C-alpha cells in the first residue's frame, strides 16, 4: 500500500462532490472517474501529478472506521520508487494543507 490520507466527509458528501472540491483545492485536474469491482465502493476518481496517481475512493481501512474516503498517493507504473517512504513527506504536507483548509483528515504512512 502507498501513502494514504483519510478524509471524513461533511454531511454524506458524494464521491464526485468531494473529488471536485478536493482536487480543486489541490490544483489537480480529475483525469477520470471510473467504476471498478476492485475499488472499495466500486468507484474511484483520480488525477496525475508529479509522477504519481492520486486516487480518491471510499475508505476501507478498519483502523480508520470513522473516515469515509481515502486519498492514495502512488507512483505511476512507469516511475520506479525504491522505497515508498519517498512519498511520506508529500502526503504529510498535503495532510497539513488540507487540515488548514478545514477538512477533517488524517495521514497513514505506508508502513503503518
CATH number at residue 102: 3.30.310
Global pTM value: 0.85
Taking residues 21-43, report their average pLDDT: 87
Give the model's confidence band at 85: pLDDT under 50 very low, under 70 low, under 90 confident, else very high: low
Count of domains in the chain? Answer: 1
- Are 41 and 57 contacting, i.e. CB atoms less than 8 angstroms apart? yes
How is the chain split among helix, strand and coil, in percent rounded to 5?
Answer: 25, 30, 45
Give the model's confidence band at 97: pLDDT under 50 very low, under 70 low, under 90 confident, else very high: very high
Could you tell me the residue range of the domain that residue 88 belongs to?
A: 3-108
Taking residues 23-52, report their average pLDDT: 87
- Are 16 and 34 contacting, i.e. CB atoms less than 8 angstroms apart? no
d(CA 18, CA 57): 10
Taking residues 19-47, report their average pLDDT: 88
CA 37 to mean position of chain CA atoms:
18
Give the model's confidence band at 35: pLDDT under 50 very low, under 70 low, under 90 confident, else very high: confident
Amino acid at each position: 500500500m502507498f501513502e494514504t490520507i483519510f478524509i471524513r466527509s461533511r454531511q454524506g458528501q458524494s464521491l464526485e462532490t468531494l473529488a471536485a472540491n478536493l482536487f480543486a483545492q489541490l490544483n489537480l485536474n480529475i483525469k477520470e472517474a471510473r467504476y471498478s469491482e476492485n475499488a472499495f465502493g466500486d468507484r474511484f476518481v483520480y488525477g496525475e501529478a508529479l509522477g504519481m496517481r492520486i486516487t480518491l475512493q471510499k475508505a476501507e481501512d478498519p483502523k480508520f472506521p470513522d473516515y469515509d474516503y481515502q486519498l492514495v498517493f502512488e507512483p505511476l507504473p512507469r516511475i520506479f520508487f525504491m522505497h515508498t517512504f519517498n512519498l511520506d513527506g508529500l502526503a504529510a504536507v498535503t495532510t497539513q494543507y488540507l487540515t488548514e483548509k478545514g477538512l477533517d483528515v488524517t495521514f497513514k504512512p505506508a508502513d503503518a
